[in-house]
Structure 1
C-alpha cells in the first residue's frame, strides 16, 4: 500500500504541475475553443458560478490556484470543473447574507453541488483537482446524476459528509482525499431524509481514495450495486459502514475488495439511529449478497457494540444480514474480535480469512 500511495502522489504532482502551467498561460476569463468544447478560465476574485452558468455541454471550466469564496451549483450535463490541484480551494463566502441569497446549493450549506431531477438527470459531469473545505453541510453533493466523475478532490472539515450523492447512477469517485468531516468521508445513498427501498447505483465505484478522521470513512446507505475497492481508510470511528432499514430491497449486491482499513479508533457518540461507534473496521447492518474479499483490517480496539474487524449486526430497525460472503481477508489485532456476527441473519459465509478471534467462535 505505501508504494501505491507514493506512485499516486507522484502522478498527482506531475498532473498538478501541468495544470498550473496550462492555467498560467491562459488569459483571465478567456474562452478558447478546444477538442471537447470551450475552455472558461477563472482567476481568484472572479465568479466560478458565472463561468459554470456560461458553460455548455462539452465545455471545461478551469480554476487557477487560489481561494474562491462561494458555493458552485452545476445543472448542465457534460461539463468539467477542474482546478490546479489542492491549492485551488472552494470555501464558504464570508458574507452570510450573500450566501442565503444565492442558489439552493449555497442555501443548503454545501460547497459544490451537481443537481438534476428525477425526470431530468444531469449526466457526464467531471469535477477534479481541487479542494472544497469548511462548508456547514457537504463539501461536494450530487443528486439525480448519471456518470458523475470526481477525481483528485480534497474534501475536508465539512459539517456532514465530504463527498456524497443520492439517487444517482454510474458514478466514479477515485483518488480523492476526505478528512476531518463530521459525518462520512464519502457517502452514497438512495435519498436523504426519506425511508425508501435501496437505490440501484448501476455499478458506481469508490476506489483509491484516502479517508481519515471522519465519522465514517465510507457510508453505503440503502444502496445496491456499488463497489468500494483499494481505498486507504484510517483514524475514523468506523472504516466502511453499510446500512439498511425496513424497506425492501435493502442494501446489497456490494463489493468491498482490497481496501487497507487500519486503526479506526476515533470515538463518535451515539445518534438517534446508531450506537456510539469506535474501533470498527467493516460493518454490515442489514446487507444482502455483499462480498467482502481481500481486505486488510487491522488494529481496531473498543468496547462499543459494533467494535471489531469485520462486524455483521442487525440494523437499528432489525434488518438482518443475509447471504454475504466474507473471504480471503487479513483481519488481525482487533477487539472485541477480528470477525463478529451479532445478527440473526442467514446464509452468511466466512471462509479462508486470516484471523485469530471471532464472536461467536469458529468463524476463523
Structure 2
C-alpha cells in the first residue's frame, strides 16, 4: 500500500531524498536537496512560498498536502553558502505554521526568489535564459489561495506537473512561459481568476510563438475558471483528453502578428460542456460566456474528435467552436476542424469569422453554423 501511495520505503528515502512534516519548511528541504532528489511532503498544511531552481521531485499526498500563502509573505530563499545539510532522509528543523523566515547573509534572496515572492505565487520553478532548469517534477499536492498563481514556471525544460490541485488563486492555476517539453497531466485547476492552465511564450512582451517541442496538456479537469486552458503564442503541443466545464470559456488558442505564428497543435478528445459562467470583459477581451473552443490568430491547428455541448452565451466569443477575428489583425489560416460532436451551443455550434484562408470544417456532427452549411 505504501508503494501505491507513492511513499518511499525507509531505505530508499535515505538514499534518494528527504521528507517534510507539518511544521517543517518545504523551502529548506528544496534548498538542501541534491539535483535529482525526491522530496516527499507529508499530509498537512504548509504556509509558505516555494522556489525551485534545480532538478528534483516535489511530491505530496494530493488533497491532504496543502500549500497556502504564508501569514507574512517573504521571498523564498536559496542559500548562497549553505551550512551542512541534515542527514539524507532527516526532517528540517520545525517552524511554527505561517512563520516567516528572516533572510540572513547566507540566505539573501536571489533575483529569481524575489520575482517569485513578488508574484505571490505558491510554487515557482525558475531557470534563466542561459541555464533553463531541467527535469523538475511536481506531483500530488494542493496549492490554494495565492494572490497570483498556484504554480508558475519560467525557463524550464521537461517540467512535469501531475495530479496537482490548484484552486482559488488570483491569476492562473498552473502557468508556464519561455519553456519547452512540459507535461501537465491529471491535474485539477478550479476557481482560479484567470486560466486554470496557461502556456505562453512570454508574459512581459510581444513576440513570435515559442516552439514548445511537444508540450502535453492531458487528462486535466478544469472548472470554475475564467478560461479552462489558454495557449498563447506557442507552437507544437497537444491538448487532449481534458474535461472542461463550468468555466466562462473552455479552450483559447491565441496568436498575434508575430513570426513564427501560433499554432501547429492538436486539440482532440476533450469534453467541453456548459462553460456558461459569466466573466466581464477587459481591455483585451470582450465579455466571456458560453465558449467552447476559440482560435484567434492561429495556424495549422487540428481540432478533432472533441465533444462540445451546451455552451451558451451572448458574448461575441460564445458558441461551440469559433474561429474568431483577431483584435490585432492576425488571421486564422490552414486550420482543420473535423470529426467533432458539437451540439446545443448558442448562438452557433460552429462559426468562422474573419478573413483567414485555408480553414476546413469536415465531418462535424452539429446543428447550426455561421455561415450556414458547415454542418
TM-score of the superposition, structure 1-length normalised? 0.90
SS of residue paired to 2:146: coil
Instruction: Write 1 or 2 for the structure with the bigger share of strand.
Output: 1
Q: Is the 8 A contact 1:16 1:129 kept in 2?
A: no
Aligned residues: 341
Which of residues 346, 351, 360 in structure 1 aligns to 2:371?
A: 360
Superposed CA RMSD in Å reads 1.8
Structure 1 residue runs of 5 or longer lacking an equivalent are 1-13
Residue matched to 2:5? 18
Distance 1:176 1:64, change over 3 A: same
Determine the C-alpha separation between the residues in 1 that align with 2:270 and 2:363.
17
SS of residue paired to 1:53: helix
Q: Deviations over 1:114-147 (max 9, x none)?
A: 1001110100110000000000111001100000
Does 2:78 match 1:91? no
Determine the C-alpha separation between the residues in 1 that align with 2:248 and 2:289.
5
Which of residues 226, 238, 247 in structure 1 aligns to 2:237?
A: 226
TM-score of the superposition, structure 2-length normalised? 0.88
Q: Deviations over 1:18-60 (max 9, x none)?
A: 24xx37x769xx9611xxxx22100011110010011111210
Determine the C-alpha separation between the residues in 1 that align with 2:297 and 2:102.
39
Does 2:319 match 1:308? yes
Distance 1:198 1:237, change over 3 A: same
Residue matched to 2:224? 213
- Listed as ranges, the matches of 1:157-176 within 5 Å are 157-176=168-187
Q: Is the 8 A contact 1:89 1:132 kept in 2?
A: yes
Which of residues 288, 298, 303 in structure 1 aligns to 2:299?
A: 288
SS of residue paired to 1:18: coil
Distance 1:199 1:52, change over 3 A: same
Q: Deviations over 1:223-268 (max 9, x none)?
A: 1001000000001011000111221222110100000000001111
Q: Is the 8 A contact 1:218 1:240 kept in 2?
A: yes
Determine the C-alpha separation between the residues in 1 that align with 2:192 and 2:2.
26
Q: Is the 8 A contact 2:73 2:117 kept in 1?
A: no
Determine the C-alpha separation between the residues in 2 that align with 1:39 and 1:193.
36
Determine the C-alpha separation between the residues in 2 that align with 1:45 and 1:31.
20
SS of residue paired to 1:197: coil
Determine the C-alpha separation between the residues in 1 that align with 2:247 and 2:69.
25
Deviation at 1:315, TM superposition (A): 1.6
Residue matched to 2:58? 81
Q: Is the 8 A contact 1:99 1:106 kept in 2?
A: no
Structure 2 residue runs of 5 or longer lacking an equivalent are 75-99, 104-108
Determine the C-alpha separation between the residues in 2 that align with 1:99 and 1:319.
48
